[in-house]
Amino acid sequence: MEKILNYIAGNLVEPSHSAYLDNYEPGRGKVYSWVPDSDEHDVEMAFSAAKKAFSAWKNMPLEQRCAILQRLADKIGENKAALALAEAKDNGKPVSLALQVDIPRAESNMRFFATAALHWSSESHIMENEAINYTHRKPIGVVGCISPWNLPLYLFTWKIAPALAAGNCVIAKPSELTPMTAFLLSKLAIEAGLPAGVLNILHGLGPKVGDAIVKHPGIKAISFTGGTATGAYIASTVAPMFKKVSLELGGKNANLIFADADFNEMLSHTLRSSFANQGQICLCGSRILVESSIYDQFKEAFVAKVAAMQLGDPLVESTKMGALVSEAHMNKVLGYIELAKSEGGRVLCGGHRVQMEGELANGYYVAPTVIEGLGPHCRTNMEEIFGPVVTLQKFDNEEEAIELANTGSYGLSATIWTSQLQRAHRVASELHTGIVWVNCWLLRDLRTPFGGVKSSGVGREGGWEAMRFFTEPQNVCIKL
C-alpha cells in the first residue's frame, strides 16, 4: 500500500512517530494508501526548516524566485493527467472535472502569483516640501496554510502560491481526507528546484497537526479555508496571539432565477451550479429561488434533468457525477435529507444513497436530490449541507427574491439569471455576498476579490491583495 510522506526541509519524510492513518478511495469505499498522522513535533521540524530558508528566499532576486515558481506551474501542467486521476481517486470527484477545472486552475494559481511577483511595487506618498513616505511590504516570515478536501489541489495552491510569491516560507496542511495531490505537489516542488524549507507540507488531522500549526508562536499568519465552525475556533485561537488571519468559510448560496432569463442557458448552468463535484463546492447554489410565473415550468424541466443524471466511477472519463468524499460525510448529507422531510419538505427526486455494483458497491454515492415546500428559515435552508441536495423556493418580485437570498448567516456567493441589465445591477448591489455571478457561474478571474461576508469569512482578497495579506507593511517617512 502506498505511503504518503511529509515534505520537510526539501525531503519526503516519515511522520516523527511513524504513525499513519488510513486514506480511503470514496468511489470504492476502501483504503488505498496511508497518510501521516503528524503532530506538533513535525510542525516544529517544519518550522525550523522554514525559518532557516526564509532569509535566502526573501532576498532571492525576484526573477529567480518567479522562475522557480513558474517551473512548479509548468510541472503541474505537465503532470495534469496523473494529478487529475489522483484527485479523482482521493476525492471521489469525476476525473473529467479534475482535468478540466481543478488541475488547470491549480496551475493558473501558481503561474498567476509567480508572475505577479515580478510586477510587485511599493507605494510612495509625498507630503509637499515636508517628507516622503514609502511603504515597504515585507514578507511575514513563516506562514501557515490550511485547506479543505473539496477542491484539494486548487485551494491548496490558491493559498501557498501568493504566500511563496510574496517571499514567505510556508507550512501547509491539506485535508487528511484528500492528501494525495498535495503529496504529488511536494514531489513536483523538488523537481522544480524549490529550495529546501521554503515549502513544507504536513499531513494529518486538523485538531492535531492543524491545531499545532495554528498555535505555533513562530507562525505569524494563518490562511484557512474550511468550515465556519473551524474558522471560528481558529479566529478565537489566533486573536490573542495577534496573528494575521484569513478565513474562507462555508456558504449557503442562492440562485435567483427571474422569469425573463434565457431558460435553456439558465437550466444547464443551474444543473452544474447545483451538482458539480456532487454539490461539494462552497460556491454551489444550494437554494434555488424561482419567480412564481415560471416555477412550475422550471420545476418540471429541472427535476426531469436531475432524475436522469447518472452516477458513475470517478476514474472513468465519461462520468459526470461521482461519490461523496467519505462515509461520514455521506451520512451527514443523508441525515439532512431526513431533516428536510421532518421539516415538511417534499423530495421531488433523489433523496437516497445509490447502491452501485461491482467494485463500486461500497462507494459513497448519493442521488442528486431536489426538495420543495420548505420555508426560508428552516434548518435545511439555513445550514450548509455541502452535498447534492438543493431546495426550491418561489418569489413574486425582486424585493422578495432579495430578502430570501439574504436570509441566513452565510454570505459567500449568489447567482442571478435575468436578461434585464438594470435588474442585474440593482439586485446584485442588494445581495449581501462576496461574489455575485450574473448569467454564469464559477467564472474566476484571479485579479478579483474572492471570499465571503457574514459567516462565510473575512480577510481574503484576490490579485495583489492576496499577496498583500502575506506581507507586513512598514512605512518609512523621510524628512525633506
Q: Which residues are catalytic?
A: 248, 282
- Select the residue interacting with ligand NDP from 10, 29, 148, 408 (CB under 6 A): 148
Q: How far apart are CA 369 and CA 371, in angstroms?
A: 7
C-beta closer to ligand NDP: residue 157 or 418: 157
Residue nearest ligand NDP by beta-carbon distance: 206
Q: From the CB of 28, what's the least distance to ligand NDP, in Å?
A: 20
- Listed in sequence order, the residues at least 6 apart from 158 whose beta carbon sits closer than 8 Å to its beta carbon are 109, 147, 225
- Which one of 56-64, 90-98, 193-201, 209-217 is the stretch in contact with ligand NDP (CB under 6 A)? 209-217
- Which one of 249-257, 287-295, 368-376, 436-444 is the stretch in contact with ligand NDP (CB under 6 A)? 249-257
- Which one of 48-56, 97-105, 184-192, 229-237 is the stretch in contact with ligand NDP (CB under 6 A)? 229-237
The answer to whether 102 contacts ligand NDP (rule: CB under 6 A) is no
The answer to whether 207 contacts ligand NDP (rule: CB under 6 A) is yes
Question: Where do the DSSP E strands lie in 421-464?
Answer: 435-438, 453-454, 457-458
C-beta closer to ligand NDP: residue 49 or 284: 284
Q: How far apart are CA 187 and CA 7, in angstroms?
A: 8
C-beta closer to ligand NDP: residue 57 or 149: 149
Q: How far apart are CA 39 and CA 16, in angstroms?
A: 8
- Select the residue interacting with ligand NDP from 230, 253, 274, 277 (CB under 6 A): 230
Q: From the CB of 344, what's the least distance to ligand NDP, in Å?
A: 25
The 8-class DSSP code of residue 26 comes to: T
Q: Which of 247, 201, 253, 252 is nearest to 226 (CA)?
A: 247
Size of the site for ligand NDP (CB under 6 A): 33
- Select the residue interacting with ligand NDP from 33, 109, 168, 175 (CB under 6 A): 175
- Select the residue interacting with ligand NDP from 92, 250, 285, 314 (CB under 6 A): 250
The answer to whether 139 contacts ligand NDP (rule: CB under 6 A) is no
Question: What is the layout of strands, in order, in the sheet containing 285-291?
Answer: 346-349, 369-372, 389-395, 285-291, 253-257, 413-417, 435-438
Residues 265-304 contacting ligand NDP, CB under 6 A: 282
CA 332 centroid distance within chain: 20
C-beta closer to ligand NDP: residue 279 or 351: 279
C-beta closer to ligand NDP: residue 158 or 302: 158
CA 114 centroid distance within chain: 20
Q: From the CB of 116, what's the least distance to ligand NDP, in Å?
A: 19
Sign, Cα dihedral of 458, 460, 465, 468: positive
- Listed in sequence order, the residues at least 6 apart from 286 whose beta carbon sits closer than 8 Å to its beta carbon are 252, 253, 274, 279, 384, 385, 389, 390, 391
Residues 108-140, buried b or exposed e (16+ Cβ, 10 A)?
A: bbbbbbbebbeebeeeeeeeeeeeeeeeebebb
- Select the residue interacting with ligand NDP from 79, 91, 108, 150 (CB under 6 A): 150
Q: Which residues pair with 346 in a beta bridge?
A: 372
Joined together, the cell numbers standing for residue 472 give 507586513
Joined together, the cell numbers standing for residue 263 give 431558460
- Which one of 134-142, 191-199, 221-229, 267-275 is the stretch in contact with ligand NDP (CB under 6 A)? 221-229
The answer to whether 176 contacts ligand NDP (rule: CB under 6 A) is yes
Q: From the CB of 467, what's the least distance to ligand NDP, in Å?
A: 17
- Listed in sequence order, the residues at least 6 apart from 245 whose beta carbon sits closer than 8 Å to its beta carbon are 221, 222, 223, 224, 234, 235, 238, 239, 459
Q: From the CB of 6, what's the least distance to ligand NDP, in Å?
A: 14
C-beta closer to ligand NDP: residue 294 or 325: 325
User: What is the three-class DSSP state of 304?
Assistant: helix
Joined together, the cell numbers standing for residue 67 give 522562475
Residues 390-449 contacting ligand NDP, CB under 6 A: 412
The answer to whether 206 contacts ligand NDP (rule: CB under 6 A) is yes
The answer to whether 457 contacts ligand NDP (rule: CB under 6 A) is yes
Q: Which of 64, 65, 67 is nearest to 75 (CA)?
A: 67
C-beta closer to ligand NDP: residue 251 or 351: 251
The answer to whether 226 contacts ligand NDP (rule: CB under 6 A) is yes
The answer to whether 233 contacts ligand NDP (rule: CB under 6 A) is yes
Q: From the CB of 386, what's the least distance to ligand NDP, in Å?
A: 5
Residue with cell 432565477: 257
C-beta closer to ligand NDP: residue 68 or 86: 86
Q: At what angle do helices 103-116 and 80-91 cross, to 10 degrees?
A: 120
Is there a contact between 190 and 196 (Cβ–Cβ < 8 Å)?
A: no
Instruction: Provide the binding-site residues for ligand NDP, judged by CB under 6 A.
Output: 146-150, 155, 173, 175-177, 205-207, 210-211, 214, 225-227, 230, 233-234, 248-251, 282, 384, 386, 412, 452, 456-457
